[in-house]
């Protein structure tokens, strides 16, 4: 048991080392390719960003409202040392985009299921909150994607139910999920498969945030919680004696920045800025800073319907 744990940690450690290594290489390559940047390393001073600021002057000096569901340490959560502000990869990414385009950010914490409605009602300008850009969601908002999705399967310590992913090993088990998560329909869709296999279908418990889902497993109410692998890792780190990560799975989604359909100009500006942020190696550096898998970096794309 200890051996397995150590093994896993070693693997993760190796992954992080790899991330640091690849990030560094990437930065080196980028700086070599763009020698002009050596003079001014800040995004706001880069020629590309200055050009964008000139192209989208309405954004400069403005304060945009970023709706987030701050229950995902690593992506967005309160700073435990100073709860008056939010920290995480998404927050840093938002600030980088703001730096490039010249806007400031205010954060609005809402429930996960309320992220897109908040955007639609005009109470927020954008959503950068570890939200997966699905075609369903693209009906409510346009997305600019920035990362691949890797999910982890959080289970009770040592996986007594032998769950190996969103498959028939979940039959008869209870999964805790957040309302509005893409994993919800995936688990629901297992029902016919379980039936064919002569097993009871999996049941779902819907909560409002990661904390409640994790508590559901700790309290013995749920068997698993499937979410972004980093979130799962953080939970295991917080409760190493009670929780395990069964496995990581890849989902066919990208993580995206949501922008109201009524603001195509803002969407295009974000898209352009994201390209620059990635080019400057900032996203990679942030993945490293927040100990996220550098392999999840993805070229930006616009998803709209």
Partner 1 sequence: MSLFLHYLTLPYLLTGIGFTLEVTALGLAGGLVIGVLLAGMQLGRVPALAAVARGYAVIFRGTPLILQLVFAYDALPHIGLTLSAAAAAGLALTANEAPFIAEILRSGVIGVEAGQILAGQALGMTPFVLMRRVVAPQAIRAIVPALGNEAVTALKNSSLASVIAVPELTLRSTQLASSTFDFFSIFFASGLMYLMLTGAVSVLQLLIEATLDLDRGKKRAWFGWRVPGRQARVAPAVAAPLPTRGADRPAAAMAPAVPKPHQKAIHRSGRDEGEVVVDVRNLHKRYGDQIVLDHVDLNVRSGEIVALLGRSGSGKSTLLRCICHLEEGDAGIVRVGGRRLGHGEDGRKLTPREIARERANLGVGIVFQHFNLFAHLTAQQNIAGPLQWVHGLSAADADDRALSLLRRVGLEHRADALPRHLSGGQQQRIAIARALAPNPNVLLLDEPTSALDPELVEEVLDVIRQLAEQGGLTMLISTHQLRFARDVADRIVFLAEGVVKEEGPAHEVLAHPRHPLTARFLRVMGAEQLADIPR
CB of 214 to partner 1, least distance (A): 8
Chain residues 55-74 in contact with partner 1, contact rule CB under 8 A: 67, 70-73
278 interacts with partner 1 by CB under 8 A: no
How big is the chain, counted in residues? Answer: 305
135 contacts 123 by C-beta, under 8 angstroms: no
For partner 1, which stretch binds (CB under 8 A), given 52-60, 98-106, 195-203, 235-243?
Answer: 235-243
263 binds partner 1 (CB under 8 A): no
Does 118 help bind partner 1 (rule: CB under 8 A)?
yes
Choose which of 19, 43, 48, 114 interacts with partner 1 (CB under 8 A).
Answer: 114
Residue 165 binds partner 1 (CB under 8 A):
no
Q: Does 216 contact partner 1 by CB under 8 A?
A: no
Residue in 45, 61, 122, 240 binding partner 1, rule: CB under 8 A: 122
Q: Considering only CA atoms, give the Rg of the chain.
A: 20
Binding of partner 1 at residue 180 (CB under 8 A)?
Answer: no
Q: Stretches 17-25, 107-115, 253-261, 294-302: which one binds partner 1 (CB under 8 A)? A: 107-115
Q: Which of 109, 165, 172, 295: binder of partner 1 (CB under 8 A)?
A: 109
Q: Would you say 30 or 78 has its CB closer to partner 1? A: 78
State yes or no: residue 179 binds partner 1 (CB under 8 A): no
The neighbour count for residue 126, using CB atoms within 10 Å, is 24
Q: Is the dihedral of CA 49, 55, 56, 62 positive or negative?
A: positive
227 binds partner 1 (CB under 8 A): no
Name the residue nearer to partner 1 (CB basis): 30 or 113: 113
Q: In whole angstroms, how close is the CB of 97 to partner 1 at the nearest point? A: 21
Regarding 161 and contact with partner 1 (CB under 8 A), the answer is: no
| Footprint on this chain of partner 1 (rule: CB under 8 A) | 67, 70-73, 77-80, 83-84, 108-111, 114, 117-118, 120-123, 208-211, 214-215, 235, 238-239
């Amino acid at each position: 048991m200890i051996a397995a744990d150590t093994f896993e940690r070693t693997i993760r450690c190796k992954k992080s080392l790899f991330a640091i290594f690849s990030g560094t290489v990437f930065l080196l390559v980028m700086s070599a390719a763009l020698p002009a940047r050596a003079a001014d390393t800040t995004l706001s001073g880069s020629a590309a960003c200055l050009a964008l600021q000139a192209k989208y002057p309405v954004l400069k000096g403005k304060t945009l409202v970023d709706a987030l569901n701050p229950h995902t340490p690593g992506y967005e959560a309160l700073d435990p040392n100073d709860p008056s502000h939010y920290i995480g990869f998404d927050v840093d990414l938002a600030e980088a985009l703001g730096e490039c385009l010249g806007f400031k950010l205010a954060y609005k914490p809402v429930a996960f299921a309320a992220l897109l409605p908040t955007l639609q009602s005009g109470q927020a300008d954008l959503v950068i909150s570890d939200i997966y850009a699905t075609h369903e969601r693209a009906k409510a908002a346009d997305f600019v994607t920035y990362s691949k999705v890797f999910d982890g399967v959080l289970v009770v310590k040592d996986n007594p139910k032998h769950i190996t992913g969103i498959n028939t090993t979940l039959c008869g088990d209870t999964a805790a999920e957040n309302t509005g998560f893409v994993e919800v329909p995936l688990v629901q869709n297992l029902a016919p498969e379980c039936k064919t296999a002569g097993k009871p279908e999996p049941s779902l418990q819907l909560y409002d945030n990661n904390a409640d889902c994790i508590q559901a497993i700790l309290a013995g109410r749920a068997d698993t919680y499937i979410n972004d692998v980093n979130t799962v890792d953080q939970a295991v780190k917080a409760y190493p004696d009670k929780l395990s990560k069964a496995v990581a799975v890849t989902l066919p989604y990208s993580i995206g920045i949501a922008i109201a359909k009524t603001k195509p100009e803002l969407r295009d500006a974000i898209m352009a800025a994201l390209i620059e942020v990635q080019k400057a190696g900032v996203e990679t550096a942030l993945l490293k800073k927040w100990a996220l898998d550098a392999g999840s970096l993805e070229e930006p794309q616009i998803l709209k319907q």
